[in-house]
Amino acid sequence: MQDLTVIPASNTAALPAEPMTLRHWIGGAWRDSADGATSERRSPAHGVPVSIAAKGARAEAEAAIAAARAAFDAGEWSRASGKDRATLLLRVADLIDRDQQAIARQEVLESGKPISQALAESEGAADLWRYAAALARTMHGDSHNSLGPDMLGLVLKEPIGVVSLITPWNFPFLIVSQKLPFALAAGCTAVVKPSELTPGTTVMLGRILEEAGLPGGVCNIVLGYGDPVGETLSTDPRIDMVSFTGSTGVGKRITAAASATLKKVSLELGGKNPQVIFPDADLDQAADAIAFGVYFNAGECCNSGSRIIVHEDVAEALTEKVVALSRRVPFGDPLDARTQVGAIISPEHLAKIDGYVRGAVAAGARVALGGAALDVGGLGAQFYQPTIVTAVRPEMPIATEEVFGPVLSVLTFRDFDEAIALANGATYGLSAGVWSRDVSTCLDFARRVQAGTVWTNTWMDGFAELPFGGFKESGQGRELGRYGLEEFLEVKTVQMRIGRTRGAWVA
């Protein structure tokens, strides 16, 4: 295994004695599927059953939509004060903190990510609920008092209505917390569909919302697959907006499905995110950030720094540094606190990752490290080695398509214009990074690169206050920050004639 750092199975006593039972939450009640269908999720790292979920069909999706529609129209939540909404959101954040260990453990079991990362994500999720609570109390419109002595103009901001929130398997608890608290802060009601691979923590969030006192029907959770649950949530005319995070291919299908009713669609999709390293960069800091960017969450991350574009003068030196660091990154048992990279979500996805690497080698690229599945003692081979592929050409699929695994592609450039052309050469535009001691270089890059987020001399920092989203085929709309609240609001103009009336139009 090329002298890699591997953490074997060491905490099997923490595995559950029996899988968690998960049910739909519709109209404030927990219920099984009408046909009794269920689906089982096995831990990708340990192979044992960890959850058995009700498998929803069109009937459950339609019941949840009806509950959300009725709750919105009744107005208990949609017309509640910002103070009342904020109070409940803050209560939810406190309960997430209370249940942090249990939430993180279930996330590890279903997704295969390391326990240290799952704990950090739970903490970050609570912060998002608190930030959304602050937005609920500061939301406001505008007034126009300059329209003449007998006119007053108002711009009101109102909740868009019933929203469907469709979330992915790679950050199930964090990403639902990038959507749901902002929708609730705006006064919307919601139907949430988590990935069928990682439903557990979303159901745990539903239990927290129930305990916090959220009125029945304001949030509903339907478990199941994209067909038929996700399809129903994208087409039903009672849904006013769809917010989806996942692959670009599925995002395009959701947009097409939603077009029949012209409902609003917000998408956070894939990325092929470049980090451009100039010759004057601090190579040690860059190498550490590159290792973090490509191995965080086993590379199963839309923000993965999966390709570096490095100046040819320092390419060899930087690659050597990244290879050396990669050997030291602990891969293995995600229940072990030492582990930084866990299991791949499924055997099918592992095969897809490996296919990109094999295809690049066949096209003339070279593997400087890794390039195969990783057999972890006591856990099997649903892991993938830290992999670095060099001599990559811009037209290779590994350089332009989202691998979604712990695989780094290395490209080189000669001058600034070439670096920009390579960075903008992919169809994606989610995030990008630049490494240079020259602030002018960093600023020029930030202005010219086509990406929704640009990091300079760092990678993947994140703050609730700053918006997140992509250019091009990385999506549309924004999450987080005040922009994340605005996504769930409609703007209404009110023109009020006061005092004198205008002259008669008909003489």
**Spatial separation of the C-alpha atoms in residues 205 and 177, rounded to whole Å:** 9
Strand pairing partners for 472?
Answer: 428
Taking residue 205's Cβ as centre, other Cβ atoms within 10 Å add up to 27
Q: What 8-state DSSP symbol labels residue 12?
A: G
**Spatial separation of the C-alpha atoms in residues 236 and 128, rounded to whole Å:** 29
Q: Which of 449, 331, 321, 445 is nearest to 386 (CA)?
A: 331
Question: What is the H or E stretch that residue 354 is in?
Answer: helix 347-362
Q: Where does residue 213 fall: left (phi above 0), alpha (psi -120 to 50 degrees), or beta otherwise?
A: left
Q: Which residues contact 447 (CB under 8 A, 6 or more apart)?
A: none
Handedness of CA 270, 107, 180, 100 (dihedral sign): negative
Residue 194, preceding bond cis, omega within 30 degrees? no
Q: Is 296 helix (H, G, I), strand (E, B) or coil?
A: helix
312's tokens: 């040819």
Q: Is 316 helix (H, G, I), strand (E, B) or coil?
A: helix
Give yes or no for a contact between 160 and 489, defined as CB atoms under 8 angstroms apart: yes
Taking residue 209's Cβ as centre, other Cβ atoms within 10 Å add up to 23
**Spatial separation of the C-alpha atoms in residues 344 and 297, rounded to whole Å:** 9
Q: Is 86 helix (H, G, I), strand (E, B) or coil?
A: helix
Q: What 8-state DSSP symbol labels residue 46?
A: T
Strand pairing partners for 54?
Answer: 38
Provide the annotated active-site residues. 268, 302
**Spatial separation of the C-alpha atoms in residues 281 and 286, rounded to whole Å:** 7
Q: Which residues contact 1 (CB under 8 A, 6 or more apart)?
A: 374, 375, 385
Report how far apart the first and last C-alpha atoms of the chain are (Å, whole number): 92
Pairing mode, strands 24-26 and 29-31:
antiparallel
Residue with tokens 């703050």: 463
Pairing mode, strands 431-435 and 453-456:
parallel
* Max Cα-Cα span within the chain: 93
- List C-alpha distances in Å: 77 to 61, 85, 302: 21, 8, 33
The C-alpha angle 182, 266, 207, rounded to 5 degrees, equals 40
**Helix/strand/coil percent split, the chain, to 5:** 40, 25, 35
